[in-house]
Chain A
Amino acid sequence: MAVAPTDVAVPGALEAVTGPSVGPRGRWRSRLGLWIPAGLVALIFFLCFVWPLIGPVGSPTGGNILEANLPIGSPGHVLGTDAVGNDEWARLLYGGRASLEIALAVNALGIVVGGLLGAVAAYLGGWRDATIMRFLDVFIAFPALVLALAIAEGLGPSEVHVIWALAFFSVPAFARLARAETLRIRELNFITAAGLSGTGHLRTLLRHVMPNIVAPLMTFALLGMGIIIVLEGALSFLGLGIPPPAPSWGNMISSGESTLSVTPRYVFIPSIALFITVVSFNLLGDALRSRWSQR
């Protein structure tokens, strides 16, 4: 089939980005390479989800205008306050929470819906495969950000709408990966055995195919976390994501843009948080994938 090279190259390309962990003290390094980003991700989740509940974190909104523009390190405001007097540290944590919630939901939708679509397409093969994949091709050929923009604009900015909008981005990607992985295992003995022993299609899919393709999907989801966090930021940056005054890293960066030359910290504080989070997810995804592919 002529389309084959492009189809196969998607997961291959993603794997290739990691680079094998060759090196002398490989084992130690690969262990550290796994646990450091894992620890960072855990810390970020803790700070965004748990710390605001138990720690001395102020409110991210409704700040006092008299306390506006306090510099970093002011008493009571570790990272200072923004232009309307909200505590930056609190906004950072609550904004991160929104980003992480969205990224988790979008990736979960991608794994479940995209994973099932791709697995079903590859498992059934033939015209049904072609139909499902061409249908998804429409979304791939469609500039994802445009669709996300239109949906966010149409439904109005809100967290749930951002999730729907970005799911259009994740579902086809997961479906392509799931399809490639299912094609790989479809002809293996245990699938044939399941068919011969009279196992129904649905059961074969859920009990035999899905467990075997879920590991690459999960690893891809870690890279997907980074991508979705960046995309969510992009939507919020364009004013179509989380509606202010509720914080998100994207709308914090966006509102800081106008005063970039005077108070660059309003742009750089959320930017750094965004960067550290995305790096952690990418490193973790990389480490898990190289560990997984060694087996």
Chain B
Amino acid sequence: MSSTSAPLSTPLAARAGRLSRLAGSPMLRFVVRRLLAAIPVLFGVTLLTFVVMNSLPGDAAQELLGAQATPAEIHELSIKLGLDKPFLTRYGEWLHGLVTGHLGHSLSSGQSVTSILGSDLPITFELILFAFVLSLLIAVPSAILSARRPGGIFDRFSMVFSMGGLSIAPYVLALLLVWVFAVKLGILPAIGWVPPDQGLGQNIRCLILPAVSIALPLMCFYARLLRADLLEQLQGQDYVVTARAKGAGPWAVLMRHTLRNSAFGLITVIALNLGTLLGVTVIVEDIFGLPGIGHELLSAISNRDTPVVEGAVLVFALVVVLANLLADLLYSALDPRVRYGGSPN
């Protein structure tokens, strides 16, 4: 990509030069290439969703009218909803809408999918963010403490605890928390949702139990992962020997040198986890009655509300793709040696 030539005025030329340098920068090329590579994957995801939704027995017209409806009524409604058109036509129309920025309308409520997503997504994202912050706040310090004295009291306790936390199903944990904190102690609500603009305190109180249900298994997973990685680095790496030889204390080695290197593994796993996590929120939102995207998705699947399902799945897949990209970008921020898409050697 050669830079543009001379006869432009100076500031413009400078800007063009900067632009072409940016366009030629390995980072931007890397990002663009990764985003382009994501398109077929996202395309596949939306097509798969359409195929799956199409192959479900019954359609939205039938679900909307209920069991008493006559075939004629169902037929009329399905023509009105456009369900009588062939499969590929409907998918094509949906794709066309997507490209022009329209995600269509819900078949059951008639609301636009964009506005449904707009009202549900913040709730789910708040829940996930809350869970992430909680899990990392506890996992990182506990992994560092464990790695400081492997085999010590704290390490053993946290290993046993985290094995337990890893093995507990989220819905079991959620019901256990409800039983302890809502039924027995009565200090937290078991169900319901208060939007943040009606009182942030109430809003947080609603989210504590669901967030902990998601965060505990995550926390255990991250703590074990980071501990193992820290220990591996401490045992075998030259830079640790160098740091120690320079006279750095054990804490300084851990915090300043090892932790930075170990953050890699953790970041990758967090990014990879995000997809699974969105699945977990479906159940947690169902148990705690949170009106998030998981809740919406469950009812949309049973209403055969394809546009809503498509919108939600697209958002989920997009989040996974972007999280993976972000993880790769963070590598380079943490370690200048990582090059974007350089040759494998």
Which of A's residues lie within 8 Å of B, judged by CB? 1-6, 9-10, 12-13, 15-20, 22-24, 134-135, 137-147, 149-151, 153-154, 226, 230, 233-234, 237-238, 253, 257, 260-261, 264, 267-268, 271, 274-275, 278-279, 282-283, 286
Contacts and interface: CB of A to CB of B under 8 A. Distances in A.
B235 to A, nearest CB: 9
Interface string B119-160: 000000000000000000000000000000011000000010
Chief secondary structure at chain A's binding surface: helix
B45 A146 contact: no
A237 B169 CA distance: 11
Contact of A2 (B33, B171, B178): B33
Interface string B43-55: 0110011001101
Of the listed residues A20, A146, A147, the one surrounded by the most CB atoms of chain B closer than 10 A to its CB is A146
B183 A261 contact: yes
Interface of B: 30, 33-34, 40-42, 44-45, 48-49, 52-53, 55-57, 150-151, 159, 163-164, 166-172, 175-176, 178-179, 183, 221, 224-225, 227-229, 231-232, 264-265, 268-269, 271-272, 275-276, 278-280, 282-283, 286-287, 297-298, 301-302, 309, 312-313, 316-317, 320-321, 324, 327-328, 331, 338, 340-341, 344
Contact of A153 (B179, B287, B302): B302
Contacts of B228: 15-20
A154 B268 contact: no
Contact of A238 (B150, B221, B283, B309): B283
Given A5-B331, A233-B169, A233-B171, A19 B283 contact: no
A263 to B, nearest CB: 11
Of the listed residues A134, A142, A234, A261, the one surrounded by the most CB atoms of chain B closer than 10 A to its CB is A142
B265 A9 contact: yes
A146 B53 CA distance: 11
Given A1-B344, A16-B265, A234-B169, A260 B178 contact: yes
A146 B171 contact: no
B44 A138 contact: yes
B40 A134 contact: yes
Nearest to B315: A143
Contacts of B221: 17
B41 A146 contact: no
B41 A2 contact: no
Contact of A141 (B30, B45, B159, B168): B45
A271 B176 CA distance: 9
A6 B272 contact: yes
A230 B166 CA distance: 11
Contacts of A23: 151
Contacts of A20: 228, 231-232
B279 A146 contact: yes
Contacts of A268: 176
B283 A2 contact: no
Contacts of A230: 169-170
A253 B175 contact: yes
A142 to B, nearest CB: 5
Contact of B340 (A2, A22, A234, A282): A2
B301 to A, nearest CB: 6
A141 B45 CA distance: 7
B269 A282 contact: no
Contact of A16 (B41, B49, B229, B320): B229
Contact of A138 (B30, B41, B168): B41
27 contacts: A1-B344, A5-B338, A12-B265, A13-B225, A13-B265, A13-B272, A135-B44, A141-B41, A142-B45, A142-B317, A143-B275, A143-B282, A144-B276, A146-B301, A153-B56, A234-B171, A234-B283, A238-B286, A238-B298, A253-B175, A260-B175, A260-B179, A261-B183, A275-B168, A279-B163, A283-B163, A286-B163
